[in-house]
Amino acid sequence: MTQQQHIWMCPVCQQALRLVDRQFLCAEGHSFDVAREGYVNLVLAHQRSSSQAGDPPDSLRQRRLFLEAGYYEALANRVIEMVTSHLEGHVLDVGCGEGYLLRRLQTAAVAQGGNDAQPTRVAQFHGVDISREGVRMGARMSEAIAFAVGNAYRLPVQADSVRLCLVMMAPREGAEIQRVLAADGILLCVTPGEGHLANFRKLVYNDARPHTPVEVPAGFHVVSEEPVSFPLNLTSKESVSQLLEMTPYKWHMDPETYQRVRGVESLTDTADFTVQLLRRA
């Protein structure tokens, strides 16, 4: 974990945490050890539904392979373009998984600002996810990003501390995001568009239906909204399996359907997203 300012909040007493050696401490004396990989676990035992909450390790590994192969690069590039002017202060990715989008944004910020030591515009990147394995993977891949195991519905983040908050295809709790977002902060949300993975969903469901629009979180208004749609051509069984393992559709399949979809040799489909920039109302 690099030396930087932190926005983490004690999950016990909701006071600010400060990093001392390899521990995060609050004024009340609660302490949280920094793991060997550099992340901190800020989920209390009674706040976790299970010891394996969030995406399982294999799903995370398959998602990392799929994303690093560039299949969703058009989406990442458009998100970067939309938030470039907001890459300063504290940037928080809620439901960050293994940190793909944060790594892309951190690279963009370095390119925009010069070098890591003396960037023209300072941005500090933070990721929160309920999956310990996802956070561990993210921390291993980038020491320049601060990662914490945390619950999206009880964010271990100080109030009014975040300049840019990102929620990409992940649960979002409007009240919590309002609490942590600075008064002039921006929220970027990526949700599935109506036609997202229509052909893939036909493999999974007998009565596949279009995605319905996701409601704007309470307490926010839309600054801008745009569709991001592009062809998705998967030419190997491996890439189709990676998509299967990273999507929530996996959990809706019976064993026979799961094995049948894993055997699909190729897939031509459309990736369709809605990207919104929002501010607090």
What is the predicted pLDDT for the residue at 83? 94
> CA of 124: how far to CAs of 7, 50, 63, 221, 246, in Å?
10, 30, 24, 25, 27
What is the predicted pLDDT for the residue at 156? 97
Report the pLDDT averaged over residues 107-119.
65
What is the predicted pLDDT for the residue at 206? 84
pLDDT-based confidence at residue 32 (cuts at 50, 70, 90): very high
Determine what percent of the chain is predicted with pLDDT higher than 90.
Answer: 73
Report the pLDDT averaged over residues 138-150.
95
Dihedral sign computed on CA atoms, order 182, 184, 190, 191: positive
What's the CA gap between 91 and 145, in Å, rounded?
Answer: 10
What is the predicted pLDDT for the residue at 147? 97
Determine what percent of the chain is predicted with pLDDT higher than 70.
Answer: 93
Q: Are 249 and 201 in contact (CB under 8 A)?
A: yes
Cα 246 to chain centroid distance, Å, stands at: 13
What is the predicted pLDDT for the residue at 115? 45
What is the predicted pLDDT for the residue at 47? 62
Q: Are 164 and 85 in contact (CB under 8 A)?
A: no
Q: Is the pLDDT of residue 218 over 60?
A: yes
pTM: 0.91
Report the pLDDT averaged over residues 111-131.
72
pLDDT-based confidence at residue 129 (cuts at 50, 70, 90): very high
Between 211 and 162, the higher pLDDT residue: 162
Report the pLDDT averaged over residues 123-130.
95
What's the CA gap between 97 and 165, in Å, rounded?
Answer: 15
- Lowest average pLDDT, out of 46-50, 155-159, 191-195, 225-229, goes to 46-50
What is the predicted pLDDT for the residue at 53? 67
**Phi (first) and psi of residue 251, to 5 degrees:** -80, -5
Q: Is the pLDDT of residue 28 over 50?
A: yes
Retrieve residue 216's tokens.
């704007």
Q: What is the mean pLDDT of the chain?
A: 90
Domain 48-280 annotated CATH 1.10.3720.10: no
